């Protein structure tokens, strides 16, 4: 076993969505001496950034506190497209559907009002005529956001990686699995890898998804993160599911659950997944493949049968993971001097990655946390140990 010791000013543990976004932003900010470690070889399918596509919505149903960050991210994705020449964002719109009294649907409208975002609110029967791929309940509400759409997730991660590998002052080390953190007296930490390599820095970003919790617990830092197995699948679909007439969507059905999905992009098929529920799995434990649980297919099929008349046979499915917090808001905090963690993205973080990357890079570089992250602290009530939990 090697015991090589590496030192840098900035160390990023986890070179996935948030880690590479932050590394890219540090490079652009002119930071020197940046080391990124990843347990795999990003983009890959061992974390939360695979499956081709992610939705981006600005009229945010999870709370208007996210809208500023979403606006910043929308501009950031456009800039990344311009700079790389790659097609990364498809502005095909997103339609949010459900009964009008569902809190998510009400919050989408409230966020749009508060921030002056363009949003078209349709009754269910009008939405059925406008979007023939949908047969939603006529008494539901459909809130259509045109400045919204689809991000190509693996292309983006690959674009960041390519830029980082061309840059000076930054090293991405793949297949480097961090198994322990040792805090330094003056701030920062040493990351110990499974093969014995050690990486030390004064400013550390821990963005290691499922392994944030097991890396922090031995330091006496308890983060309420739950790893959840999530599935999604692609299906045959007719012409009603092309992106020019079928936007991305969220659907909240009080009986069937919360779902999201995508038009048939480049012939890949109609794609859908369930946002709520899922199976809790401990960090490091392999996820059962799609079809490993009876509900994997059944829960998607019940929504297709009820609402999607032109969607046909299953093509293939996949599994991924959410790292959930108790309130499903992000967890981004300086948990020890010089050690910032960014996790708990609860299945809705990717759309913000470029904006969060800028903000995290600034925090690492200057030592000052941006006000936009104030709602994501570990000290908030929802993240405190509940009586009887510990």
Ligand X SMILES: Cc1cc2nc3c(=O)[nH]c(=O)nc-3n(C[C@H](O)[C@H](O)[C@H](O)COP(=O)(O)OP(=O)(O)OC[C@H]3O[C@@H](n4cnc5c(N)ncnc54)[C@H](O)[C@@H]3O)c2cc1C
Q: Interface residues with ligand X (CB under 6 A)?
A: 13-19, 37-40, 42, 46-49, 51, 54-55, 177-178, 207-209, 211, 230, 232, 260, 273, 320-322, 343, 345, 347-351
376 neighbors 352 (Cβ within 8 angstroms): no
Q: What is the CA radius of gyration of the chain?
A: 21
Partners of 228 in the β-ladder: 280, 322
Give yes or no for a cis peptide into 43 (omega within 30° of 0): yes
- Smallest gap from Cβ 123 to ligand X, in A, equals 26
End-to-end CA separation in angstroms for the chain:
37
- Smallest gap from Cβ 176 to ligand X, in A, equals 6
- Smallest gap from Cβ 329 to ligand X, in A, equals 12
Which residue from 67, 339, 301 is spatially nearest to 216, judged by alpha carbons?
Answer: 339
Nearest position to ligand X, beta carbon: 16
Residue 332 to residue 153: CA distance in whole angstroms = 21
Our CB check for ligand X shows the closer of 124 and 172 to be 172
Our CB check for ligand X shows the closer of 259 and 322 to be 322
- Smallest gap from Cβ 191 to ligand X, in A, equals 8
Signed CA dihedral, 28, 64, 232, 281: sign only: positive
- Smallest gap from Cβ 363 to ligand X, in A, equals 15
Which residue from 126, 108, 125 is spatially nearest to 117, judged by alpha carbons?
Answer: 108
Strands (E), 162-280: 170-173, 178-183, 189-193, 198-206, 226-237, 248-253, 257-262, 270-274, 279-280
Our CB check for ligand X shows the closer of 232 and 376 to be 232
Our CB check for ligand X shows the closer of 48 and 204 to be 48
- Smallest gap from Cβ 125 to ligand X, in A, equals 27
Q: Which residue carries 């509400």 as its tokens?
A: 141
Q: What is the DSSP string of 247-277?
A: -EEEEEETTTEEEEEE---TTS-EEEEE-S-
- Smallest gap from Cβ 95 to ligand X, in A, equals 14
Q: Which residues are catalytic?
A: 50, 53-54, 271, 275, 320, 351
Helices 153-166 & 67-84, crossing angle to 10 degrees? 60
Our CB check for ligand X shows the closer of 51 and 338 to be 51
Our CB check for ligand X shows the closer of 74 and 131 to be 74
- Residue 228 structure tokens: 């959840």
Q: 54 vs 152, 198, 264, 300, 352, CA distance in Å?
A: 7, 34, 13, 18, 11
| Strand bridging mode 339-343 / 257-262 | unpaired
Our CB check for ligand X shows the closer of 39 and 128 to be 39
24 neighbors 160 (Cβ within 8 angstroms): yes
| Strand bridging mode 198-206 / 339-343 | parallel
């Amino acid at each position: 076993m090697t015991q090589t010791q590496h030192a840098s000013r900035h160390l990023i543990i986890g070179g996935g969505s948030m880690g590479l976004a932050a590394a890219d932003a540090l490079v652009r900010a002119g930071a020197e001496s940046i080391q990124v470690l990843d347990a795999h070889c990003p983009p890959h399918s061992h974390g939360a950034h695979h499956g081709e596509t992610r939705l981006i919505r600005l009229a945010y149903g999870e709370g208007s506190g996210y809208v500023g960050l979403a606006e910043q991210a929308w501009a950031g994705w456009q800039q990344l497209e311009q700079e790389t020449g790659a097609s990364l964002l498809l502005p095909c719109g997103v339609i949010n559907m459900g009964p009008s009294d569902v809190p998510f649907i009400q919050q989408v409208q409230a966020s749009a009002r508060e921030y002056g975002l363009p949003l078209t609110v349709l009754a269910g029967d009008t939405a059925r005529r406008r979007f023939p791929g949908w047969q939603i309940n006529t008494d539901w509400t459909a809130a259509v956001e045109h400045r919204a759409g689809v991000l190509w997730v693996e292309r983006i991660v690959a674009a960041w990686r390519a830029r980082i590998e061309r840059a000076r002052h930054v090293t991405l080390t793949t297949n480097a699995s961090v198994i322990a953190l040792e805090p330094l007296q003056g701030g920062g930490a040493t990351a110990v890898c499974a093969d014995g390599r050690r990486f030390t820095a004064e400013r550390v970003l821990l963005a290691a998804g499922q392994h944030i919790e097991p890396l922090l617990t031995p330091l006496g830092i308890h983060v309420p993160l739950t790893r959840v197995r999530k599935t999604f699948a692609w299906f045959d679909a007719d012409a009603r599911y092309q992106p020019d007439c079928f936007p991305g969507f969220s659907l909240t059905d009080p009986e069937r659950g919360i779902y999201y999905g995508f038009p048939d992009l480049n012939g890949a098929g109609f794609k859908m997944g369930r946002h709520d529920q899922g199976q809790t799995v401990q960090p490091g434990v392999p996820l059962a493949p799609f079809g490993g649980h009876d509900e994997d297919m059944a829960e998607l099929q019940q929504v297709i049968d009820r609402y999607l008349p032109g969607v046909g046979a299953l093509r293939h499915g996949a599994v991924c993971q959410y790292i959930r917090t108790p309130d499903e808001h992000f967890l981004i905090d300086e948990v020890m001097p010089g050690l910032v963690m960014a996790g708990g993205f609860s299945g809705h973080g990717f759309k913000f990655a470029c904006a969060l990357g800028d903000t995290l890079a600034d925090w690492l570089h200057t030592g000052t946390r941006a006000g936009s992250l104030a709602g994501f602290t570990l000290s908030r009530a929802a993240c405190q140990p509940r009586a009887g939990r510990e």
